[in-house]
Structure formats: structure tokens, C-alpha cells
Chains A and B, each alone.
Chain A
Amino acid sequence: MAARSEIVAELAARIRRIERAGTYQAPNIEDDVEVPAASALTSLWPNMASLRGRLVEWLANAKGAGATSLAVLASQAAFAQDLWVVIDGRKTLHGPGLVPLSLDLNRVVLVRPERPQDVLWAVEQSLRTRGVGVVVCEVDQLTPAAFRRLQLAAETGGTLGVLLRPERMRQQPTWAEFRFLVRPLAMRDIEKSSGAIKPRRRLLVELLRAPGNFTAKAVIVELDDANGRLCMVTQLASAATAVRATGA
């Protein structure tokens, strides 16, 4: 009879094999090739539909960085037919800005709590509900206990929880399955004349945390948020390379 440690090792190897098999191998893409939003991110996020019952964190360094658009675009592909609950504690989300991201506002329950302490309650209640596909919320501080509660609630309801958080939370422990960091890149290399160019912007998306794969990966995408199109600019091996390449 095999030793206990051998069984554990064998199981671990099997899990790794399964995870590798599900990983999307990005093809060699030339610069500025337009691809669907989902495909642009699948190199980072292998199987979006399998994220039911999980939490995903999107970190951004400041307002206007593009994390909300990217998070919506990434989730929208797999959860287009589901009901979305968006908790908007700051009361700033603007419907006309979300429509180009292919978000059907008829399927969105917008929750605007008056008190900050109601935000987490609303998130947990929504995550715990079967029938809700995605719960999006902007949260700042989260205690480990509260974070764990959210993760358990997502597991119970089979709901994808999308948490939008500031970059300074990067060092905090997380119960999210995936953690992304979004950094906008100034388009210095593009002609600076006003009006002539479409208002596109480039975003560096780093994968900081993923199950079974802790190697940092990054892609640079170009987002046209007037119509929700993503262009894969380049495929980079690691976050450090990406940062060096763009001079950010």
C-alpha cells in the first residue's frame, strides 16, 4: 500500500496536470491585434465560466485607471445571461458609461447603500443567493474574517464575486482566487494631436495571484471604452518585463 505522502504527492501532481490542461495557451499575437475581450484576457484567466463560487480581486492605483471597465468586460463574457448585482456604495456608477461594455442594464440590480456598514452585508447577501451570476463591489478595507465570509458566501451561492480595490491592498492577505493589478500606461508613443485619434488607452494587467500558478504574468491591452473593444498589444513573459518595456 502506498504511503500517505506518496498518495498526497500523486494527487498534487494530478491537480497540476488538470490545471495545466485547462490553461489557455496564447498564440503569438502581433502588436495591436484586435481580439474579443474574453480572448484578450484568457491568457491570464483560463476558464472564466469555472469561476462560479469564487472571488476575483481587481486592484488599481487610482480612480480613472480602467479597472472597472476591465473587470466588467472580463466577467461579462461568461456571465452575460446572468443577473448582476452591483453594490455602489459611493453612488458614482454611471449607466451610459457601462452600456458600451456590453452590460445589459436590465439584468443589473444596482444597490446603493447609505451606510458604509451595509455595503458588506449587501455583498454577502448577494453572493449567497443562487440565481445571481456576478456581484461587483468596490471595497476598501476588509478584515480577514470578513473576506473569508465573502468567500464562503460565494461558494454557497455559486456566484462570482468581483471586488474592486485600491492597489495599496496588495500586501493584504486575500481569500480571492485571482488577484489582478491594473495600471494605466500613458500613450506617449502615439501622436498627441487632439481629437483625431479615438480615445483608446493602454492598460497593463498583471496577474498577482492564481490557484496553482504563482508565477507573475502580465499583458498589455488597449481598451476602447467607447465600444468595449480590447486590443492585445503584446504578450509579455512577466510583470517586470512589461514594466521595463513600457517605461512605466
Chain B
Amino acid sequence: MPLAEAQALVETSPSTSHRSPPHLDLEVHFELHDPVADQACLRGIAQACEYFSPLYGLEEADSPECVLLDVTGCTHLFGGDYGLATGLVTQLRAQGLHVRGSVAPTIGAAWAVAHFLARSTEPTVVAAERLPQALNPLPAAALRLSHKTLNRLGELGLQTVGQLRALPRSTLPSRFGPELLKRLDQAFGDETELLVTQSTPIPLVAQWAGEWSLTTQEAVQLIVQELLEELLNRLKPKRSGVRQLLCGIREPGGRTHEFCVDCVIPTDVAKHLLEMLALQWERRLLPEEIVFVRLEATLTDRMQVRQRDLFGHALDGDDQREVVALLDRLSNRLGTQAVVRTRLVPDAQPELAVAYDAWTQTEYQSSSAKVRPAETLTPSTIGLLFPTTLARPTHLLTPPQEIEVSIAGPEGAPLSFYWDRYEHRVIRSWGPERIETGWWRDAPIARDYFRVETQTGHHFWLFHQFHAEGWFVHGTFD
């Protein structure tokens, strides 16, 4: 977003309060652009609209920003078009969203009216007979045209939809390409535009409610095993397996306990899932009585097919299967965030130079390449990031530990320091390596790093902090 536009936004919404560039007296909230997350969020919003119509979806665009609903046959349930639109807008606004809603005979017209005619306070309804009157005064951009076409129209002084409709139809494709005529026809209903609907996944649930409560772990396991088999039998025709299983149990008093089982690859083996559930139970104190058990396969995926030899053995052996089982066991007992894959990130700040991805949340492949290459840094990139003279320590202390430095040498490195109950006398040092991050960080840093060798031959990574004066040990070369 251009600075002037952002500035205008800030002036109208002074409530935002975050770090700003030092040379600008603004209060701006900075967020990284994440189109994938945006789309996922919009899909969630669309799903929430199912109450108003079973046919819903997103507009077809690279960065969709509209939720479309086919409300044919649904409006009378809400008191007409206006009643439905008002109800929908009110519901979304209650979630803290800024919404502009419209009801129109075509997708193109609804998009145009929502963007250029509707007010944020109430939705706009355009009846079929009033479509030309509503669309003609709107700007050409209301037709969802590309920037190139809009620029060309602008050069020719064609500003509104009405002006475009006044031109001879036969000349439009040769002068502006097929896009303009197609969008015009779609807006006025002369060309069919399909709504690509989004379907709500049917939850895969198996549950048990007993007249008598379960009091032993064996009984609970038996019930869970039956429920698991029921779930897996429903997945078998789809050749799918469970990647994430949500287990909920309820006490007689109504208190519910929930825990989640994650698998690295989809599985259809009830015994394996039962083992993972047992590992989860070991970490928790289960209630003495259980009256309700619910299992839901919250994430399913296609089973991986492996070629087998003449004797029915998988060609890539049992080793991979054992490794996957190990990852599942570790993840479910220690937590998914405790079993991770290290990913190097090109960031100067040492604490942020590494990211950790849970093995259960990344794509696992049985081949030797276990990670998408784009996500990793190549050795040559690493060489550029961390030159040989600036080696990084094998162990990084988080947070850095403050030390007492007796006196600093001529180049800034300490001559001795006190840490971990001992005084360390420095006999050699390398540095300084200055690491300074930008003002846009929540907590910018400015440090001078030194690698030092002590009289005992140990190597440490120290830094001197500028903002809040002090020396710290940040790592050891172990």
C-alpha cells in the first residue's frame, strides 16, 4: 500500500497503535501479507454463511475478496431479499467484520453493486428490472476488468458502464479483447456465470453414550477401539486414513476432556491409533467415570500406496514404517511442537535464524528428500549468510545470559568475564560482527558479537548490547 494511502487510513482510524518509523510521526500497524491465510479466512467466512444458503463459494480471482451465495428459493425464509441480506450482514458485522452486501440477479451485478453502490450501513438490493438503471452509472471498474483494459478505456474517455453499453457490440472484442464483452454480458445476465460452490465437509464422528459410566481403562479402550473401527470402516471406501483424531470424553458431571492425536502420514490401523491415544492418556489424569466418548477424524488424507514385491513385502522395507511410527509416538507423547524439523531462515538475528516445523504438520515423504527444496537453504546460500569467519555456535542460549566483564580490550572484546561460576580469561578473540535489525521489528537489536577463546581453550560467543548497555553470553562452540 502506498504511504499516502496508509497515512490516510491512519488519520481516520487513530486507534491503531504500533511501532512506526522514527522519521514519521505515525501510528501504523504492520502485518505481513499472507494471501493463503487470507483465502483460508475467507473460506471460513463463506462456511459461516451456510445458514442463509446451501450454495456458497468464493469469487474466482487470484486474490478473492467476495463471498458469493446463490439465494434462489431461500429469500422467503428470511422475509425477502432485503431481509436475508440484512440478516447476513448483521451476523458478519457482529463478528467484527466490515461488510458490504448486495443482492442482484447476476454474480457480476452483485459484485459491482457491492463494490460501488452498497453502503457499509445496509445492504443494497437490485431487482432484475432495475438492473440497467443500477449498473449504467457505475464506473467501468465495476465490471471486474483487468488493469490493462481499464487503462485503455480511461485513455479513450470511457468511464461508465453505460458508455460501454452504448458502443456497438460487434466492435468491442476487436478493440478491447474478449474480456470486456464477456464481463458486460455476465453483469447483465446475457452470459451464464457459474458459482463454484464450496462444500462443507461432513464431520467423521463416532460416539458412544452409555447408561452406565465406564470406570476402568480397559473398558474405555474397548469402547474407543469399537469407535475407531467404525470410523476407519467409513474411510476405507475412500482409501483414506486418519491424520488427526480428536477424542473427547465426558464425566457424569458434564465436564469434557479433549485431546488430539496427530499422525505424520495417514493411517488406517486401529491398533496404531489406539497406541497413540494411550500415549496421550499417559500424559493426563483421566476422570474416574466416563459416560460419553466421542471420536472425530478432524484431518483425513489419501493413504500412501506402496509397491510390494512378489511376497507382499513393501519395496522400501519396514524401516520407513518404523520411523513413521516413532515420529507418531514421540509427537503424541511429547507434543507435536517437541518433535520438529529445523529450517534455516535468512535472518541476521541469531534467535530468528532458525524455524522449527512439527513433523506432523509437514509433508512426509518416504524418499530421501523429506522436505520441499524451496523451504531450505542450500549450502551455497548458507555460505553467503554465514561466512566462514563468522561461524555460528553449535549451542545458542535463549535468552542470552548476562555476564560480568572486567575490562574490554582495544578492539572491544572483553579480556575476562565471569560466567557459569567461573572466571574466564580471554586469550584470543574474533570480531566484532555487528548485527543490527531494523526499526520495524517489535524489539530491534544492535549488538557487537565476539567469538572468544579462553585460557582453557573453550570457545564462547559473546555480544555487547548497545541500547541497554551490557555483555551477554549467547552461545558456545561445543
A residues near B (Cβ < 8 Å) are 60, 62-69, 81, 83, 85, 90-101, 105-114, 118, 121-122, 125-126, 129-132, 183-188, 190, 192, 194-195, 197-199, 201-203, 224-227, 248
**Inter-chain contact A97/B371, CB cutoff 8 Å:** no
**Inter-chain contact A99/B379, CB cutoff 8 Å:** yes
**Inter-chain contact A64/B478, CB cutoff 8 Å:** yes
**Inter-chain contact A97/B392, CB cutoff 8 Å:** yes
**Inter-chain contact B342/A110, CB cutoff 8 Å:** yes
Tell me the complex Cα distance, A66–B457, Å.
10
In the assembled complex, the CB of A135 is this many whole angstroms from the nearest CB of chain B, namely 10
**Inter-chain contact B478/A185, CB cutoff 8 Å:** no
Nearest B-chain residue to A87, judged by Cβ:
B330
Some 13 contacts from A to B, beta carbons below 8 A apart, are A64-B458, A66-B477, A94-B393, A98-B394, A105-B344, A113-B334, A122-B334, A130-B319, A186-B453, A192-B427, A194-B413, A194-B431, A199-B459
Tell me the complex Cα distance, A227–B379, Å.
11
Give the most central of A60, A132, A185, A199: most B CB within 10 Å.
A199
Contacts of A121 in B (CB 8 A): 333
Tell me the complex Cα distance, A65–B393, Å.
12
**Inter-chain contact B330/A94, CB cutoff 8 Å:** no
Number of A-B contacts (CB under 8 A): 199
Contacts of B427 in A (CB 8 A): 186-188, 192
How many residues of B are counted as interface, with CB atoms below 8 angstroms from the partner's CB atoms? Answer: 68
**Inter-chain contact B428/A118, CB cutoff 8 Å:** no
Tell me the complex Cα distance, A194–B409, Å.
11
**Inter-chain contact B395/A68, CB cutoff 8 Å:** yes
B116 within 8 A of A: no
**Inter-chain contact A186/B344, CB cutoff 8 Å:** no
Contacts of A111 in B (CB 8 A): 330, 334, 338-340
**Inter-chain contact A125/B341, CB cutoff 8 Å:** no
**Inter-chain contact B389/A95, CB cutoff 8 Å:** no
**Inter-chain contact B322/A131, CB cutoff 8 Å:** yes
Complex partner residue of B391 from A81, A97, A125, CB under 8 angstroms: A97
In chain B, positions 297-353 with a C-beta closer than 8 Å to chain A are 317-320, 322-323, 325-327, 329-330, 333-335, 338-344, 350, 353
In chain B, positions 390-430 with a C-beta closer than 8 Å to chain A are 390-398, 409, 411, 413, 420, 427-430
Take A83-B323, A122-B334, A201-B453 as given contacts and tell me if A106 and B340 are in contact as well, using a CB distance cutoff of 8 Å.
Answer: no
Write out, one digit per residue, whether chain B residues 357-393 have a CB within 8 A of any chain A CB (1) or not (0): 0010000000011110000100100100110111111
Q: List 19 additional contacts besides A93-B396, A185-B457; criterion CB under 8 Å.
A: A60-B478, A62-B456, A64-B459, A81-B368, A94-B395, A99-B344, A108-B342, A109-B330, A110-B342, A111-B330, A112-B338, A122-B334, A129-B326, A186-B457, A194-B413, A203-B457, A225-B391, A226-B388, A227-B388
Take A69-B478, A186-B427, A199-B389 as given contacts and tell me if A130 and B459 are in contact as well, using a CB distance cutoff of 8 Å.
Answer: no
Nearest A-chain residue to B329, judged by Cβ:
A125
Complex partner residue of A199 from B319, B323, B359, B430, CB under 8 angstroms: B430
**Inter-chain contact B340/A110, CB cutoff 8 Å:** yes
Tell me the complex Cα distance, A113–B457, Å.
31
Tell me the complex Cα distance, A187–B369, Å.
41
In the assembled complex, the CB of A195 is this many whole angstroms from the nearest CB of chain B, namely 6
In the assembled complex, the CB of A67 is this many whole angstroms from the nearest CB of chain B, namely 6
Nearest B-chain residue to A122, judged by Cβ:
B330
In the assembled complex, the CB of A66 is this many whole angstroms from the nearest CB of chain B, namely 6
In the assembled complex, the CB of B478 is this many whole angstroms from the nearest CB of chain A, namely 4
B219 within 8 A of A: no
Nearest B-chain residue to A90, judged by Cβ:
B395
Contacts of B329 in A (CB 8 A): 125
Tell me the complex Cα distance, A91–B356, Å.
12
**Inter-chain contact A131/B320, CB cutoff 8 Å:** yes
**Inter-chain contact A97/B453, CB cutoff 8 Å:** no
Tell me the complex Cα distance, A240–B435, Å.
44
B472 within 8 A of A: no
Contacts of B74 in A (CB 8 A): none
Contacts of A227 in B (CB 8 A): 388
**Inter-chain contact A65/B458, CB cutoff 8 Å:** yes
**Inter-chain contact B457/A67, CB cutoff 8 Å:** no
Contacts of B17 in A (CB 8 A): none
Take A66-B478, A106-B376 as given contacts and tell me if A97 and B393 are in contact as well, using a CB distance cutoff of 8 Å.
Answer: yes
Nearest A-chain residue to B390, judged by Cβ:
A226
Contacts of A85 in B (CB 8 A): 326
Contacts of B393 in A (CB 8 A): 94, 97
Contacts of A60 in B (CB 8 A): 478
Tell me the complex Cα distance, A64–B401, Å.
15
Contacts of B350 in A (CB 8 A): 94, 96
Complex partner residue of B394 from A69, A106, A190, CB under 8 angstroms: A69
In the assembled complex, the CB of A94 is this many whole angstroms from the nearest CB of chain B, namely 4
Contacts of B395 in A (CB 8 A): 63, 68, 90, 92-94, 97
**Inter-chain contact A63/B478, CB cutoff 8 Å:** yes
Nearest A-chain residue to B409, judged by Cβ:
A194
In chain B, positions 70-115 with a C-beta closer than 8 Å to chain A are none
Tell me the complex Cα distance, A133–B392, Å.
26
In chain B, positions 422-478 with a C-beta closer than 8 Å to chain A are 427-431, 451, 453-460, 475-478
In the assembled complex, the CB of A75 is this many whole angstroms from the nearest CB of chain B, namely 14
Nearest B-chain residue to A86, judged by Cβ:
B342
Contacts of A126 in B (CB 8 A): 326, 330
B196 within 8 A of A: no
In the assembled complex, the CB of A2 is this many whole angstroms from the nearest CB of chain B, namely 43
Tell me the complex Cα distance, A187–B457, Å.
7
Contacts of A69 in B (CB 8 A): 394, 477-478
Take A109-B339, A110-B356, A198-B388 as given contacts and tell me if A67 and B478 are in contact as well, using a CB distance cutoff of 8 Å.
Answer: yes
Contacts of A95 in B (CB 8 A): 342-344, 353-354
Contacts of B376 in A (CB 8 A): 105-106
**Inter-chain contact B457/A202, CB cutoff 8 Å:** yes
Contacts of B371 in A (CB 8 A): 106
Contacts of B478 in A (CB 8 A): 60, 63-69
Contacts of A106 in B (CB 8 A): 341, 369-371, 376
Complex partner residue of A130 from B318, B456, B477, CB under 8 angstroms: B318
Contacts of B323 in A (CB 8 A): 83, 129, 131-132
Take A94-B475, A97-B393, A201-B453 as given contacts and tell me if A112 and B354 are in contact as well, using a CB distance cutoff of 8 Å.
Answer: no
In the assembled complex, the CB of B60 is this many whole angstroms from the nearest CB of chain A, namely 37
Tell me the complex Cα distance, A167–B356, Å.
31
Take A94-B395, A97-B392, A106-B370 as given contacts and tell me if A194 and B428 are in contact as well, using a CB distance cutoff of 8 Å.
Answer: yes
